[in-house]
Structure 1
Amino acid sequence: MKNLNELQKEGLKTFEILVEPGQFTEVRLLNTKQGTLSGYYNDVDKLIEHIQRYDGNYNIYITMNALSEGIEARGKNHLKSYAKNTTSDKEIRCRRWILIDLDPERPAGISSTEQELKLSEELGRKIQGYLTDCGFPEPVTALSGNGFHLLYPVELPNTPEMTSLAKGFLGALDSRFSTEQVKVDTTTYNAARITKLYGTVSCKGDSTEERPHRRSKILYVPEKRVPVAIELLQQIAAQCVEKGNKKKTVNRNEKREPARSISGSKMEFDLRLWLESHEIPVAREKQVENGMCYVLESCPWNQEHSKDNGAYVIQFDDGGIAAGCHHDSCKEENWETLWRMLEGEKPMPSVKKAKTENLPSAEKESPVDVLLRLIEEQGHIPFRSTEGEAFIQIPNKVSFVNYPLKSEYYQMWLRNLYYQTYNRGSRNDMIQAVMETLVAKAHCQGKEYPVYNRFAFHEGHLYYNLADRDSTVLCVDESGIKCCSEPPVRLITRKNIRPQPMPQKGKSFRKLMNKYYHFASMSDRILHNVILIVRLITGIEQPIVIYKGSKGSSKTTSMEMDKRCLDISSNNVTVMPKNEEDFLLLLESQDIVCLDNMDSITKSQANIFCQVVTGATAVKRKKYSDSELCEINIKSVVYMNGIHLLSDRSDFLDRCVFLNMKAISSEKRRSKKDVMEEFEADKPCILYRMFECLSRAMEIEPLIEVNIDDRLLDFLKWGCAVAEAMGYGQEKFLEAYQKNRTRLNEELLEEDEVAGAVMDYLEESGNFEGTMSELSAELFDMLYEKGMYASNKIKQANHLSRRLKELETGLHNVGISVEIGKNNGKRFVKISRENTE
């Protein structure tokens, strides 16, 4: 929907029409992820530059009337997040425009249809014709995106009388012209009124074919600006008063004293203007069941109650007024005490005491309701993952951060919010009620997003969360590295995550890797450097990397440096959890898992590791539930270290890459603390080079073809692309990978009892063909004659059969054929050298 040329053209036109030369106007965006954004501009080029990123995502407004001098210091030619002070009515120097906003009637929060938009324009043209007949000059006409605008130029002082005049003028038009389909908006009377910044997109609700988001635009500008004479406005406003007296209608926002209208008739008490005259700022207005509620920015009775907008004043349709504060210490305060505090013994215009039974239902807020309202006002947005887990998005100064909704951090945040609001501790059941409501909103109303931890590869882009103070997310694609304010995925900040530095250009990646890692061979170095970058591609099967080497070969340090490059956390290296559930939770919570000092792997652990590579989903019983199950995504990247071969299971070993480390001499050995400090100092450059290499690999990957039969084909394809981008080349990488597989297979066969016995038998006795029991006996006898022990894997035919099936691929790789089957109803096994007839 973004069209920069149209935005620049219409934005410039709006600025020239509404803003006097050299003067400032406020630009305002409401309900963004950074709260209210506000800035004061006299530089239209900067204005367009700063708002273009928000165009189409948020509604963008501008003040119409001349601002008081010095107000621009709040944010001169830039936008400020979480703006606490925006332009108030008393900060308007004079009125230059009156806005007639024709808004189609429709459900709240959605855009208008083409027919509704057409009806609003038709009514606007009708009102324009009527006012022209009354002697009004030509207005500026515009489409707001959902309705029709008439902007009439005026030259009026900003006084309460002129506010009443503008209000009466709009009220008269409303009474005369509003229909069931289109209404004249009567709330645009106040001096600090904001209007659409024409040229920006109006975005209410979702953009659908029937109710699309549209770009606002100015339709017509008169050749000359001719202000409306005050007598013409009075003439129209007088009709409103007369009609109002006949119907005995009550305006909720009338004058603070028995005041005189322009026509001389008595008007109702204007609560809004009374509040302004006493400099009591209003946070927001909201229509309640039988009146208008003004929620105050701060409590007039107790300034300590200013954090949650708990004070309010209500003007009822019958003229009565109620006031109060939700805090216990203010429970005796009401409209009468407010009036006496500010007006002394002056007669009160109208009194309704602010007792709970007299308040509309909307004002009876429990502490849970208050917390939920404050959460919404601060821009917290519940959402859910594609797996159905609930999360919360919290805005910060620049971007936003995402947490698991039921995380310990968010619960602490809620408790702190309650304490700040009520100055007392919160009950567990209260926090639980808030959490359950937010979870329900996440599932029933929240949007669904793909959810990841530190980083995600999504639709050809890498999104990487630095997890710094500004929650910076980087986007890496074929064009390079850049910051991304609103990624299409949600990256979750979990308890153990730690910040990464901003990437910076520097030394080459290969030189930096040579500085810190001590591999036994060049092929291991190539594999490591390529794998480290391919780790950033989520969604593909990644090999388990196992560091091997003698004592003092920096296996743990090397593994931790890999972790620090990819996903630094509070526990970069851990030991294997003792029970399976803890192990699964560890895999779910971290993108990179490093397991230290592994001695061996059980059969069930090997099965889990195989599932980790392929990306299976584990199922476990939900906490505090007897029957409900929940899914855990255990696709993760795993590193281990050990001295020996950790498992003899071929399906596990097929998913592993072993990197051999060479021992570091005592002269070159340094403390881990010194190494890590230097490594962290170089990490900005390491990250930059990793992302830079991945960006080049993204261009290369579609051209790569890999003709190898392997479980990890997607990994190999990306590995070839990274190797090409790094300068190694595809052939060297594949050669290093094949060499690693061959070496692993040889180590497996050398350490396996059955494989060793079979190879010795073929060497001494030649090929074998017979039953499994006969083979078991032959192997047992051979070992017995050599004085060697034979376990059940050889002594029992069924164990021998199972192990031979597991070793079939490994033996095939060294030229030994194993065939197990049936012939004439009898089971047989045939073992032979593949080059033997």
Structure 2
Amino acid sequence: MGVYEFDAETVKAVYDFLAHKAETEIRLIDPHKRRRPKSIFVTSRDQFLRTCKAYNGLYNVYVGINERRPGGRKREDVICVKTIVLDLDAVRPDKSQPASDEELELVYSKAEQIAKDSKLFWLHRPCICMSGNGYQLWYAIPSIPITDENRDEVEEKLELFQHLMKEMYESEHVSIDNIGDLPRIIKVMGTLSIKGEHTKERPHRLSYCLGKLERREDPYLRAYILSLKQEPKEASLNDVSNAARITPDFEHLLEKDQKLRSLFYGDTTGYPSRSEAEMALMVKLVYYGFCQADIWRIMDSARIGKWQESHEQYRKLTYRKALEFVATNRYNTLPATRISSG
């Protein structure tokens, strides 16, 4: 790969996706850390393209996700939010070096999983991009105007959304950066990712988009983000015996269903992460027909542990995803009778 490889069409698509009305900040970061970061402000797609091309291969080229006031770089300068990006990174022995193809493939699988789930949770599937050492999911939402009155509240909700997705999907192979702060920058797709030493096994890569980077605004995702609130977490695990006393049916199921028992008592063998083990347990509870209140009490007592550590929104998304899974596979999985605590 030549160090000056550049994808002009993708760079233009990034500018169009961000849909800034006045000015866009380009941030140039020296991969060798010999020079201070440099900001250049542009007001047109042609300026954006020319600037990115001029510095590609010499700097890592980033762009401000959220539009700022003219010349602004700080959170106080952000005037609206209409693009959400999830940034998935490959876990590797040395984060200062590029990812291997094998490590990237694991991140791609996770990005695909999140994209599919997003279509279930909200309205549109996000655009998937390869950032060089990981993958990103780009979501478009109707604009959220930022004022001095709502700045702190909106930023808190954006960070909470990022934290929630991190809780849901991070694993031993995939890390998810929390990039919910208002002045956040992101790599310009179509430019070269320069990190560490370029080798055959761990090369510098040209970032790109899988398919068309097209802006399709999702009002459901916007509404969901704005609905998020900080909630207190459980101080400690409840006594496991409490769950068995919810209903005789659950005690009976623990005796007859080995997989249910193993998951309930914290055995996550065969699952890449605690989130996926808890999802499997949740699916079983939905499968057996427990009502939401009983499922919450059972999960409070389960020993996998992530449920008790997590925000209420993580719990609601896990439950919703389990409902969708069982509904999609109803003819193969649903039992003939419903179990409830009456």
Question: TM-score range with shorter-chain normalisation?
Answer: 0.5 to 0.7
Whether the 8 Å contact between 1:8 and 1:48 is mirrored in structure 2 is yes
Structure 1 match to 2:73: 87
Tell me the CA shift for residue 50 of structure 1.
3.6
Tell me the CA shift for residue 4 of structure 1.
6.6
Structure 2 match to 1:220: 211
| RMSD after superposition | 2.4
One-letter identity of the residue aligned with 1:232 = Y
Q: Distance in 2 between matches of 1:157 and 1:194?
A: 18
Q: 1:20 and 2:7 equivalent?
A: no
Whether the 8 Å contact between 1:66 and 1:92 is mirrored in structure 2 is yes
Q: Distance in 2 between matches of 1:206 and 1:139?
A: 31
Whether the 8 Å contact between 2:28 and 2:59 is mirrored in structure 1 is yes
Q: Distance in 1 between matches of 2:51 and 2:145?
A: 32
One-letter identity of the residue aligned with 2:12 = L
Residues 134 and 247 of structure 1: is their aligned pair in 2 closer, same or farther, counting only changes over 3 Å? farther
Tell me the CA shift for residue 20 of structure 1.
3.1
Following superposition of structure 1 onto structure 2, how do residues 55-70 of structure 1 map, counting pairs within 5 Å? 55-68=56-69, 70=70
Tell me the CA shift for residue 231 of structure 1.
3.1
Following superposition of structure 1 onto structure 2, how do residues 403-422 of structure 1 map, counting pairs within 5 Å? none
Structure 1 match to 2:115: 128
Aligned residue among 163, 180, 183 for 1:171: 163
Tell me the CA shift for residue 3 of structure 1.
7.6
Q: Distance in 1 between matches of 2:20 and 2:181?
A: 19
Q: 1:38 and 2:39 equivalent?
A: yes
Q: Distance in 1 between matches of 2:42 and 2:129?
A: 22
C-alpha distance after superposition, 1:435-477 (max 9, x if no partner) = xxxxxxxxxxxxxxxxxxxxxxxxxxxxxxxxxxxxxxxxxxx
Q: 1:48 and 2:44 equivalent?
A: no
C-alpha distance after superposition, 1:553-586 (max 9, x if no partner) = xxxxxxxxxxxxxxxxxxxxxxxxxxxxxxxxxx
Residues 150 and 228 of structure 1: is their aligned pair in 2 closer, same or farther, counting only changes over 3 Å? farther
Tell me the CA shift for residue 27 of structure 1.
0.6
Q: Distance in 1 between matches of 2:76 and 2:89?
A: 27
Q: Distance in 1 between matches of 2:20 and 2:198?
A: 35
Tell me the CA shift for residue 157 of structure 1.
2.8
One-letter identity of the residue aligned with 1:17 = F
Residues 2 and 101 of structure 1: is their aligned pair in 2 closer, same or farther, counting only changes over 3 Å? same
Q: 1:141 and 2:133 equivalent?
A: no
- Give aligned pairs, total: 227
Aligned residue among 98, 106, 130 for 1:111: 98
C-alpha distance after superposition, 1:123-181 (max 9, x if no partner) = 11111222221123232221111111111112223321111111111111111211011
One-letter identity of the residue aligned with 2:197 = D
Q: Distance in 2 between matches of 1:194 and 1:224?
A: 18
C-alpha distance after superposition, 1:52-101 (max 9, x if no partner) = 34322321100111222x32xxxxxxxxxxxxxx6111111110111111
Residues 228 and 220 of structure 1: is their aligned pair in 2 closer, same or farther, counting only changes over 3 Å? farther
User: Secondary structure, in 3 states, of the residue corresponding to 1:245?
Assistant: coil
Structure 2 match to 1:100: 86
Aligned residue among 172, 175, 180 for 1:189: 180
One-letter identity of the residue aligned with 2:73 = T
Residues 2 and 99 of structure 1: is their aligned pair in 2 closer, same or farther, counting only changes over 3 Å? same
Residues 200 and 231 of structure 1: is their aligned pair in 2 closer, same or farther, counting only changes over 3 Å? same
Structure 2 match to 1:156: 144
Residues 102 and 217 of structure 1: is their aligned pair in 2 closer, same or farther, counting only changes over 3 Å? same
One-letter identity of the residue aligned with 1:100 = L
Q: 1:246 and 2:234 equivalent?
A: yes
One-letter identity of the residue aligned with 1:9 = E
For structure 1, the residue ranges without an aligned partner over 5 or more in a row are 72-85, 249-837
Following superposition of structure 1 onto structure 2, how do residues 161-310 of structure 1 map, counting pairs within 5 Å? 161-186=153-178, 188-221=179-212, 225-229=216-220, 230-233=222-225, 237=228, 241=230, 245-246=233-234
Q: Distance in 2 between matches of 1:224 and 1:54?
A: 26
User: Secondary structure, in 3 states, of the residue corresponding to 1:15?
Assistant: helix
Q: Distance in 1 between matches of 2:5 and 2:165?
A: 36
Residues 206 and 227 of structure 1: is their aligned pair in 2 closer, same or farther, counting only changes over 3 Å? same
Between the aligned residues of both structures, percent identity stands at 25
Whether the 8 Å contact between 1:25 and 1:63 is mirrored in structure 2 is yes
Following superposition of structure 1 onto structure 2, how do residues 420-435 of structure 1 map, counting pairs within 5 Å? none
Residues 131 and 52 of structure 1: is their aligned pair in 2 closer, same or farther, counting only changes over 3 Å? closer
Q: Distance in 2 between matches of 1:25 and 1:37?
A: 14
Residues 136 and 185 of structure 1: is their aligned pair in 2 closer, same or farther, counting only changes over 3 Å? farther
Q: Distance in 2 between matches of 1:18 and 1:234?
A: 20
One-letter identity of the residue aligned with 1:218 = C
Whether the 8 Å contact between 2:87 and 2:177 is mirrored in structure 1 is yes
Tell me the CA shift for residue 10 of structure 1.
1.8
Structure 1 match to 2:334: none
Q: Distance in 1 between matches of 2:234 and 2:159?
A: 18
C-alpha distance after superposition, 1:650-702 (max 9, x if no partner) = xxxxxxxxxxxxxxxxxxxxxxxxxxxxxxxxxxxxxxxxxxxxxxxxxxxxx
Residues 195 and 247 of structure 1: is their aligned pair in 2 closer, same or farther, counting only changes over 3 Å? farther
Q: Distance in 2 between matches of 1:194 and 1:178?
A: 21
- Which structure features the higher share of strand residues? 1
One-letter identity of the residue aligned with 1:96 = K
The structure with more radius of gyration: 1
One-letter identity of the residue aligned with 1:65 = N
Q: Distance in 1 between matches of 2:25 and 2:213?
A: 24
Residues 40 and 177 of structure 1: is their aligned pair in 2 closer, same or farther, counting only changes over 3 Å? same
Q: Distance in 2 between matches of 1:200 and 1:223?
A: 18
User: Secondary structure, in 3 states, of the residue corresponding to 2:55?
Assistant: coil
One-letter identity of the residue aligned with 2:211 = Y
Following superposition of structure 1 onto structure 2, how do residues 273-422 of structure 1 map, counting pairs within 5 Å? none
Whether the 8 Å contact between 2:3 and 2:192 is mirrored in structure 1 is no
Q: Distance in 1 between matches of 2:167 and 2:122?
A: 20
Tell me the CA shift for residue 228 of structure 1.
3.6
Tell me the CA shift for residue 224 of structure 1.
5.4
Q: Distance in 2 between matches of 1:93 and 1:153?
A: 16
